[in-house]
């Protein structure tokens, strides 16, 4: 395409998106970008200029201003061409220069590792974001277009970029509330990382969509008929769930597609907040809501400013479906997040938005304290994905904290001095200790004392937020409490000698780190510091270390015995243990038992775990108890497999049923199991609020295929809202 033709097309596309933009200024920026990138090609073979043009189009669709679009056009120029930061500032002003500098990678510096480079790039981007959040919006647009054209990278680069997108950039888009961008980033990354799962899901969802379309239209017609009797305007549509969200539910909640009932939802958009609650009342009179599935994000917005009412109800035929209710303004924010309110042209300063981005300032506080790139990256991921709790100050200000936070977290979030002098708190007017777990909606009033001794090492076990943890560490360092590591090491070594062991036998780094985790301490240094201040009983610690020592000796003996046995022909062959239907590769007769926490069934992917004195415990590979094991415990894993020669054996599996509590419900469920020749080995049923029954059943089955058939049949029982296999 000729340069003039490309520019004319670019300008005409921007005019369609936003005719109020200063096109003369954008033409000037376009010509500079084209000049700087002349002769450069992308890996696809296209002119490099096509990338910044695509980034600008994404930014324009988000409603961004001219300076953001100019920065998008030139975001790679300073890094990849002779064009300097000074040139940029001279040509287009300091504001554009600041935006481009925030996005530019640290290309001129040398780092020891890829992880260190990534951490430093993100540090710089966060620092720039603290001055202007548009830096992140440009970076997200840049990443989105790179993912749209990622097929031209090699396989390792694709995996690295997509993994980074899921861990960092998609959660950041979510934090800004730009869900249109978040969903596309996640779906593209999933398609590249697990194409088989992605395309299978696309096919299955299409089939489900066709099946559900008629029932959804019936529901929409019923809602229209009810709302037409009210005196307000509304718009009602269906909404499809994006693929990555479905994938996560199926993988991490161990659900089948049939068990996910919000593949499609109904969205109702009205004019006012009052109308939102009026529609909710109408919906709840038409269908029974499922307890625990109602979310009021209008009264309690998400940190990214998302507001909406969510409710899930049981339809006339026992099928549950989700309904979302919001105003048009809320819908705009839900789609485009903070970008929906970006109005620099009208003179609205960024200061008005800072209160909505408290999470960013919090990130900046603790990232300055972390020198280790790996620690920074892990903390960032935890912070982005953590669940939140929202509480109030006595003046009514909303404070956002990680779920599980305590009054100490709240106190340090308000101010370091308040946290340091905290001795307790009043929650809704009642005194609570400093380790009380805060709950949504509570009013917190911190109680301080000038006589307080201040933070102790034990406070690090109580707090949940990075902000509080880092401020406590700073206080400890100021009081020289952090210099007690050597003293703690000496005290431990002397105690070990009194027990008759040499310190080098018992005091090993991996065991000290493991002991620190068992005691809810963040590191070995905190363990040693706690010893020096009497916060850890030496007798308890040394007993733990001696147990680790003997465990290692036992494992060494078992390993040696195993190595000797494999030299014999008999032990080289796989042996089936007892009558469990499990084969243990390379081992003789062993005690085998199935873990009751996850109840594996033939067809499940399984792993063996060598227990202490009780043989091998067989778990599902997705068992939360196995996934959460520390690295040193994973050395006790052993390969096991199902024996295909034992097809007639039965295995227990737990399932959960959520249903309308009615007469004859359990009789109908039992009849399904009887007709399918499935034995019910155990039942635990509870009747909850709103006439909802929660039933846990233990079924004797031969394999996962039989289990899937049973689940499908049970979902057809009238009044059953949800059936799924227990995760643990």
Q: What is the pLDDT of residues 551-582, one digit of tens each?
A: 887 777 776 666 555 444 434 444 444 456 77
Averaged pLDDT for residues 535-561: 76
Tell me which of 22, 80, 91, 661 is the catalytic residue.
80
Tell me which of 79, 445, 622, 641 is the catalytic residue.
79
More confident residue, 271 or 104: 271
Residue 696: count other Cβ atoms within 10 Å of its Cβ.
14
Question: Where does the pLDDT of residue 488 fall: very low under 50, low under 70, confident under 90, or very high at 90 and above?
Answer: confident
Query: What is the pTM (predicted TM-score) of this model?
Result: 0.47
Averaged pLDDT for residues 7-28: 89
pLDDT at residue 166 is higher than 60:
yes
More confident residue, 431 or 534: 431
Averaged pLDDT for residues 284-310: 84
Q: Which residue is listed with tokens 């696309």?
A: 202
How far is residue 133's CA from residue 112's CA, in Å, rounded to a whole number?
A: 29
More confident residue, 212 or 142: 142
Residue 253 confidence (pLDDT): 63
Average pLDDT of the residues of the chain: 78
**Alpha-helix runs per DSSP H in 18-133:** 23-36, 50-61, 66-73, 77-80, 85-92, 94-103, 114-131
Residue 24: count other Cβ atoms within 10 Å of its Cβ.
8
Residue 142 confidence (pLDDT): 92
Residue 436 confidence (pLDDT): 92
Question: Where does the pLDDT of residue 91 fall: very low under 50, low under 70, confident under 90, or very high at 90 and above?
Answer: very high
More confident residue, 372 or 673: 673
Question: Where does the pLDDT of residue 534 fall: very low under 50, low under 70, confident under 90, or very high at 90 and above?
Answer: low
Question: Where does the pLDDT of residue 409 fall: very low under 50, low under 70, confident under 90, or very high at 90 and above?
Answer: very high
Residue 590 confidence (pLDDT): 64
> Smallest Cα–Cα separation from 318: which of 596, 717, 693?
717
More confident residue, 707 or 398: 707
Residue 388 confidence (pLDDT): 67
Superfamily of domain 3-195: Hypothetical protein af1432 (1.10.3210.10)
Residue 354 confidence (pLDDT): 45
**Within 13 Å and on the Cβ side, how many CA atoms surround 710?**
29
Averaged pLDDT for residues 154-169: 87
Ranges 352-361, 439-448, 638-647: which has the least confidence: 352-361
Question: Where does the pLDDT of residue 351 fall: very low under 50, low under 70, confident under 90, or very high at 90 and above?
Answer: very low
Which pairs from 600-606 meet CB under 8 Å and 24+ separation?
Answer: 600/651, 601/651, 601/653, 601/701, 601/702, 601/703, 601/704, 601/707, 602/642, 602/649, 602/651, 602/702, 602/703, 602/704, 603/642, 603/703, 603/704, 603/705, 603/707, 604/704, 606/582, 606/640, 606/641, 606/642
Q: Which CATH topology does 386-474 take?
A: Ubiquitin-like (UB roll) (3.10.20)
Answer CATH for 209-340 from 3.40.50.2000, 3.30.460.10, 3.40.50.720, 3.50.50.60: 3.30.460.10
Residue 80 appears among annotated catalytic residues: yes
pLDDT at residue 533 is higher than 60:
yes
pLDDT at residue 720 is higher than 80:
yes
Averaged pLDDT for residues 37-45: 88
How far is residue 224's CA from residue 109's CA, in Å, rounded to a whole number?
A: 61
pLDDT at residue 53 is higher than 90:
yes
> Smallest Cα–Cα separation from 542: which of 586, 508, 576?
508
pLDDT at residue 332 is higher than 70:
yes
In whole angstroms, what separates CA 565 from the centre of its chain? Answer: 45
Q: Distance of CA 9 to CAs 1, 45, 72, 387, Å?
A: 10, 20, 17, 45
CB-CB contact of 700 with 679 (8 Å): yes
Averaged pLDDT for residues 122-137: 66
Q: Which residues, in sequence order, are bridge partners of residue 642?
A: 582
SS3 content of the chain, % helix, strand, coil (to 5): 55, 15, 30
Sequence-distant (6+) residues with CB within 8 A of 639 are 584, 585, 607, 608
pLDDT at residue 109 is higher than 60:
no
More confident residue, 240 or 105: 240
CB-CB contact of 205 with 213 (8 Å): no
Residue 121 confidence (pLDDT): 62
pLDDT at residue 350 is higher than 70:
no
Residue 170 confidence (pLDDT): 86
Per domain, the residue ranges of the chain are 3-195, 209-340, 386-474, 482-565, 569-642, 651-725
Q: Which of 16-30, 451-465, 576-590 has the highest mean pLDDT?
A: 16-30
Answer CATH for 651-725 from 3.40.50.920, 3.40.605.10, 2.60.40.2470, 3.30.70.260: 3.30.70.260
pLDDT at residue 588 is higher than 80:
no
Averaged pLDDT for residues 86-90: 92
Averaged pLDDT for residues 189-197: 89
pLDDT at residue 73 is higher than 90:
yes
pLDDT at residue 345 is higher than 60:
no
pLDDT at residue 491 is higher than 50:
yes
Ranges 155-159, 199-203, 269-273, 453-457: which has the least confidence: 453-457
pLDDT at residue 377 is higher than 60:
no
> Smallest Cα–Cα separation from 338: which of 68, 133, 124?
133
Residue 111 confidence (pLDDT): 45
What percent of the chain is modeled with pLDDT above 70?
Answer: 77
CB-CB contact of 652 with 681 (8 Å): yes
Residue 570 confidence (pLDDT): 39
Residue 343 confidence (pLDDT): 38
């Amino acid at each position: 395409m000729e340069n003039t033709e490309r520019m004319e097309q670019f300008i005409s596309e921007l005019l369609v998106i936003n005719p109020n933009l200063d096109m003369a200024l954008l033409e000037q920026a376009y010509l500079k970008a084209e000049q700087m990138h002349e002769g450069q090609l992308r890996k696809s073979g296209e002119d490099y200029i096509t990338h910044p043009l695509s980034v600008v189009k994404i930014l324009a669709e988000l409603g961004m201003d001219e300076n953001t679009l100019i920065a998008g056009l030139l975001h790679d120029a300073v890094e990849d061409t002779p064009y300097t930061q000074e040139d940029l500032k001279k040509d287009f002003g300091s504001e554009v220069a600041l935006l481009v500098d925030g996005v530019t990678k640290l290309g001129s510096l040398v780092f020891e590792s890829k992880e260190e480079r990534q951490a430093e790039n993100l540090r710089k981007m966060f620092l720039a974001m603290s001055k202007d959040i548009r830096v992140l919006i440009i970076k997200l647009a840049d990443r989105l277009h790179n993912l749209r054209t990622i097929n031209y990278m090699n396989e390792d680069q694709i995996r690295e970029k997509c993994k980074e997108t899921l861990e960092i950039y998609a959660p950041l888009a979510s934090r800004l509330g730009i869900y249109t961008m978040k969903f596309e980033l996640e779906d593209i990354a999933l398609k590249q990382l697990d194409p088989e799962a992605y395309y299978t899901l696309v096919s299955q969802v299409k089939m489900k969509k066709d099946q559900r379309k008629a029932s959804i239209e019936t529901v929409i017609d019923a809602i229209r008929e009810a709302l037409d009797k009210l005196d307000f305007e509304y718009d009602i549509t269906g909404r499809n769930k994006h693929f990555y969200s479905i994938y996560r539910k199926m993988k991490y909640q161990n659900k089948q597609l049939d068990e996910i009932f919000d593949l499609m939802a109904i969205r109702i958009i009205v004019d006012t907040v009052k109308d939102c609650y009026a529609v909710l009342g109408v919906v709840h009179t038409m269908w029974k809501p499922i307890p625990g599935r109602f979310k009021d994000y209008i009264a309690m917005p998400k940190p990214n400013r998302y507001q909406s009412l969510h409710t899930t109800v049981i339809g006339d035929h026992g099928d549950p479906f989700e309904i979302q209710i919001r105003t048009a303004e809320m819908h705009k924010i839900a789609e485009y997040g903070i970008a929906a309110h970006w109005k620099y042209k009208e003179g609205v300063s960024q200061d008005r938005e800072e209160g909505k981005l408290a999470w960013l300032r919090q990130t900046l506080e603790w990232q300055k304290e972390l020198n280790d790139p790996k620690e920074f990256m892990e903390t960032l991921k935890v912070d982005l994905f953590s669940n939140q709790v929202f509480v109030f100050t006595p003046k009514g200000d909303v404070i956002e904290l990680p779920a599980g936070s305590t009054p100490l977290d709240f106190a340090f979030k308000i101010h370091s001095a308040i946290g340091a002098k905290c001795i307790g708190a009043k929650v809704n007017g009642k005194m609570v200790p400093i380790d009380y777990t805060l709950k949504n909606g509570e009013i917190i009033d911190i109680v301080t004392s000038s006589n307080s001794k201040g933070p102790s090492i034990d406070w690090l076990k109580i707090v949940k937020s990075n902000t509080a943890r880092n401020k406590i560490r700073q206080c400890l360092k100021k009081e020289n409490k952090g210099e007690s590591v050597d003293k703690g090491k000496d005290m431990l070594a002397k105690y070990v000698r009194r027990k008759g062991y040499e310190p080098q036998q018992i005091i090993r780094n991996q065991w000290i780190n493991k002991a620190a985790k068992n005691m809810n301490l963040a590191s070995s240094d905190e363990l040693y510091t706690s010893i020096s201040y009497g916060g850890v009983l030496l007798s308890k610690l040394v007993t733990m270390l001696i147990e680790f020592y003997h465990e290692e000796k036992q494992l060494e003996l078992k390993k040696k015995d195993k190595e000797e046995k494999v030299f014999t022909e008999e032990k080289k062959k796989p042996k089936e243990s007892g009558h469990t239907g499990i084969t243990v590769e390379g081992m003789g007769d062993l005690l085998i038992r199935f873990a009751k926490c996850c109840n594996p069934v033939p067809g499940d992917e399984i792993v063996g775990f060598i227990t202490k004195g009780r043989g091998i415990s067989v778990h599902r590979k997705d068992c939360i108890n196995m996934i959460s094991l520390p690295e040193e415990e994973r050395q006790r894993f052993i390969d096991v497999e199902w024996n295909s020669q034992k097809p007639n054996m039965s295995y227990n599996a737990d399932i959960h049923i959520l249903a309308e509590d009615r007469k004859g419900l359990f009789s109908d469920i039992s009849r399904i199991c009887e007709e399918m020749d499935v034995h019910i080995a155990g039942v635990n049923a509870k009747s909850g609020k709103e006439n909802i029954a929660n039933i846990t059943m233990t079924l004797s089955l031969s394999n996962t295929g039989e289990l899937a058939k049973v689940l499908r049949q049970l979902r057809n029982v009238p009044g059953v809202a949800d059936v799924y296999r227990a995760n643990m």
